[in-house]
Amino acid sequence: MRYLAPSLLSANFYNLENDLNILSKKNIKYLHLDVMDGMFVPNISIGIPVISSIKKNTKDTFILDTHLMIEKPERYIDNFKDAGADILTIHREISSDYLKVIDLIKDSGLKVGVSINPETDVNKIIDAIDKVDLILVMSVHPGFGGQQFIESSLEKIAFLNDLRNKNGYNYKIEVDGGIYVENVNKVINAGADIIVSGSGVFKGNISENIDRFMETFKE
């Protein structure tokens, strides 16, 4: 089954409640939350208070798919758990020992994901694939929305899908960056399960944009 995970980074923060209500009415399951610290990536975004507020006011409407683009994420695992995050995804490229951080997240009781940037060889996460619930392939350079999809990401998705099928792994494949209705079929055909889209969902009529994605998923 394919899931659409709207990226909150592109939502209308002046009227966030309205945007979230639309997502809820459209039965969106995954809500993608980009957390940036201005160090791992050259941008700063939402953090723990926003996640806590969303969880408190939406109850269990969404799976809070929390993408940590931060250095030393191990410092904040308990904070994100207390705020209501359901999945914590860290980057392979962090300066910490990423396998140890994965174990710490698992020990906390949260689901865990690992992400790779466009320039990172997918083989660099082979030692983690039997530990994680999710693998996030970045199809743009992390830090800013609205970038163009990087086509070489399709090879990584296909590789991870083949590896999963051959070895019986249970991780989900998530893809984030430059995905719109016009190109989402390429990502789906490569083997992606969770499709992250920011401006593709929130730019224009949110409800109609979601309907277009869902119709494409059925094709």
The candidate with the shortest Cα–Cα distance to 117, out of 98, 135, 147, 139, is 139
With a pLDDT cut of 90, the percent of the chain lying above it is 90
**Confidence (pLDDT) at 147:** 74
**Confidence (pLDDT) at 146:** 66
Which of 19, 65, 86, 176 is flagged as catalytic? 176
- CA angle (116 as vertex; 6, 152 as ends), nearest 5: 85
**Confidence (pLDDT) at 145:** 64
User: What is the arithmetic mean of pLDDT over 206-210?
Assistant: 98
Which of 34, 65, 86, 193 is flagged as catalytic? 34
Mean pLDDT value across the chain: 95
Alpha-carbon span 181 to 151, nearest angstrom: 15
User: What is the arithmetic mean of pLDDT over 104-108?
Assistant: 98
Q: Is the pLDDT of residue 144 over 70?
A: no
User: In the annotation, is 97 catalytic?
Assistant: no
Tell me the whole-structure pTM to 2 decimals.
0.95
**Confidence (pLDDT) at 95:** 92
Q: Is the pLDDT of residue 216 over 90?
A: yes
User: At residue 152, what is the residue type?
Assistant: S
**Confidence (pLDDT) at 60:** 87
Domain 3-218 listed as CATH 3.20.20.70: yes
User: What is the arithmetic mean of pLDDT over 104-124?
Assistant: 97
User: What is the arithmetic mean of pLDDT over 128-136?
Assistant: 97
User: What is the arithmetic mean of pLDDT over 180-208?
Assistant: 96
Query: 162-173: per-residue pLDDT in tens?
Result: 999 999 999 999
- On whether the CB atoms of residues 73 and 88 are closer than 8 A, the answer is yes
User: Both tokens of residue 1?
Assistant: 């089954």
Q: Is the pLDDT of residue 67 over 80?
A: yes
User: What is the arithmetic mean of pLDDT over 98-119?
Assistant: 98
With a pLDDT cut of 70, the percent of the chain lying above it is 99
User: In the annotation, is 34 catalytic?
Assistant: yes
